[in-house]
Structures are given as structure tokens and as C-alpha cells.
Amino acid sequence: MLALLKKKIADKYFWMEMLLLVSITYLIAILSDVEYSIYEEGSGWYFINSLEYRLSFGTFSFILFGTYYWGFVKRFVDGRKPLLLVISLLVFIPVMHYYNHYVALWSMSKLPLLSESLRKIAGRQYKAQEGFKLIYAYTLSYRCLPMIGFVYLIRALKQEAQLKTLKEQQLVSELNYLKAQVQPHFFFNTLNNIYALAIKQSKDTAPMVVQLSEMMRYILYQSAEQKVSLQQEVAFLHSYVEIERIRHHQHISISFDVQGITDTARIEPLLLLPFIENAFKHGTLEAVEKGNVSIVLCLVEKELSLQVANSKPERKKEYDPCGIGLQNVKKRLELLYHNRHQLQVSEDEQSYEVNLNLKLA
């Protein structure tokens, strides 16, 4: 019971429902008295004299309408039982009239907590209403129909919130899946590079293993986070570029220019890597061929720009500009930066260039 109470208190929809019930049982009647006092009497005496009556009678009405709302209306609306809802309305209105007369007025005429004048007024109304007529139209339009419409509104809001939560969960799952694809793809390529150097018994094998260990530490401990510092991501990219620099030696010219990076900017981890990895994968060949890779990363306010350009080798090889890495990152960009990114890819016979603009949150 205590857990249920805590859950209700934490539920914003519960407080919206409470406000509705307070409005139709207390506030509307009180505001009506205020308007009557101002426009008809020109003073506030009527409102002051009737306030005790409104609060007392409103409390009994709140109990009745609260019982009907949570016991019947919500149950029938949430259960999609419109016929039972209509039947409950037809039954509720006579019940309300009898309740007001035989429970509310009678109780108010006997309660010692109320003033003597209020008890007398309630007693006179109780005796005077022995025969009364049921008024459906007023009660339906004033209280019941707004209450039912509000229940449908609450249900629609909850469904929308649940749908949003489900979409967010699906988004997180898809992003985690895409991020998980990046790691083995990256390690596969890097280990291939190390393997090639080891076959040649190159002295650069050990430095590449050290660089790779640093990158593995970042991937294992930082990339699991939703966002990381842009400076950390840039340091990771720098380590990758250094691995490629060791691998290619003088075969290609590599420039990596970083501007305006701050420690407050944050970005999703491993988001930029596929563009840089792609430049080295498809823009260079080993042996004696020359080539170049240029990387410029610039942050201005909250707009991040990445430009990656690479030459194409004269000796053609199988070229897939839409490999796993780029397909992956395009999906992640669409999910994470929908309508907040621009990606342009251009190429000719000699070069391939990628320009990416991101609006960081």
C-alpha cells in the first residue's frame, strides 16, 4: 500500500487528475460565487458567507466524484468499454442526486465541526428537497462529460509517453548495436596492419602495439558512455593517425590539424573514426606509391566541422566508398543528429573528400 502511494505521488498524471476533481468540486463553484459577489452585489460578502458551504459541500462531492472517477470512469476508459461507461453515467447521476441529499446535506446538518448557521441551512435544504427532479443535461455538461474527456486525454498522453519511451529504447539498442560493430571492424583493420609489420619484422611493430593498447583502453572504458569529451575523442583519433603514420612511413603525407577544441564540448564516441579510417584504407597503397591524407577538425561555438581528403592511388584496387564503417556512421548520424548534421562526399579521378558538419548539443 505504501509503495502504491509513493508511486501515485510521483505520477504527474495523478496530480493532473486531482486538479480536475478539485476544479469541478471546489473551484468552479467558488469562482461562480466570486463573480456573483462582484457583478451582482458589488461586494464580496456573498462569497465570504458562502465559502464555508462551498468547502463543506465540495468535500462530499470530491469523495463522490473521486470514487466514480477512479472506480469506474478510468477503469472503463482504459479497458475500452464504452457501453459500460454510458451505463455508469445513467446510473451515476441519480446516485449523485440521492447522495447529495441523503448523505451530504444530512451530514452537514449534523456535523458539530460546522457553524450553527451552516447546519441550519443544510437542514432546511434537506427537508425542502424530499421530492426533487433529476437533471441530466446540466450535470453531464458541467461535470461528467469534461471528466470523461479528461480521462481520454490522460490515456492519450500516457500512450504517447510510452511510445516515446519505446522509441528511445529502440534507439539506444540500435545505437549500441552500431557502436558494437565499429569496434571489431576497427580492431580487424588495425591488427591486419600490425600483422603486416610483424611479417616484415619491422621495428615499428612494438610502437604500433603500444598505440593500439592505448586505443583499446579508450574503447573499453570510454566508448561505453553515451557521450565523451571531444578532447578525448580527438586524442583517440590522434593515436589512430599515429599508427597509420608508423605504418606508411614516407609513402604518404599525413596532416592532422585540430582547431578550437574545448574541454566542455562533448560528442558520441567513435563517431568520426570511420571517415578517417576510410581515408587511409582506400586512399593509400603500400610499397613505393605516394599519396596524401589531410584531416582538419574545427570547432566554432557548438558547430563541429570535419574535413577528410585523400588522394587516390594510381594503381587501382577494389574501392568500396560505402563499406561497413561508412554505412554504420551514416546510420548513427541519422539517429543521433537528425536534422543537425550535413554530410557531403565528393570525388574525382585523383581525390576523395568528405565534409561533415555537426551541431553539438
- Is the pLDDT reported for residue 58 higher than 80? yes
Neighbouring-strand partners of residue 297: 258, 306
Taking 70 as the threshold, does the pLDDT of residue 18 lie above it?
yes
* Amino acid 5: pLDDT: 62
Region for 249 from its dihedrals, namely left if φ exceeds 0, alpha if ψ lies in -120 to 50, beta otherwise: left
pLDDT tens-digit profile of 185-206?
667 777 777 777 788 787 878 8
Q: What is the pLDDT of residue 133?
A: 67
List the grid coordinates of 156. Answer: 492519450
Contacts 24+ apart (CB under 8 A), 41-44: none
Judge contact between 96 and 139, C-beta under 8 A.
yes
Paired sense of beta strands 252-259 and 291-300, if any: parallel
Report the chain's mean pLDDT, rounded to a whole number.
82
Instruction: Give tens-digit pLDDT for 111-148.
Output: 999 999 999 998 988 887 655 567 777 788 878 888 99
As given in the structure block, the three cell numbers for residue 81 are 468499454
In angstroms, rounded to a whole number, what is the distance separating the alpha carbons of residues 186 and 222?
15
Cell of 253: 603525407
Could you give the CA distance from residue 251 to residue 268 in angstroms, rounded to a whole number? 32
Q: What is the predicted pLDDT for the residue at 266? A: 92
DSSP code string of 15-49 = HHHHHHHHIIIIIHHHHHHHHHIIIIISSSHHHHH
Three-state SS for 293?
Answer: strand
Tens-digit pLDDT profile for residues 241-266: 888 887 777 678 889 999 998 888 99
CA dist., res. 17 & res. 72, Å (int):
14
In this prediction, residue 22 carries a pLDDT of 93
CB 256 within 8 A of CB 295: yes
- Does the structure show a pLDDT above 70 at 43? no
Q: Which domains does the chain have, with CATH numbers?
A: 2-134 (no CATH), 178-359 (3.30.565.10)
Question: By percentage, how much of the chain surpasses pLDDT 90?
Answer: 30
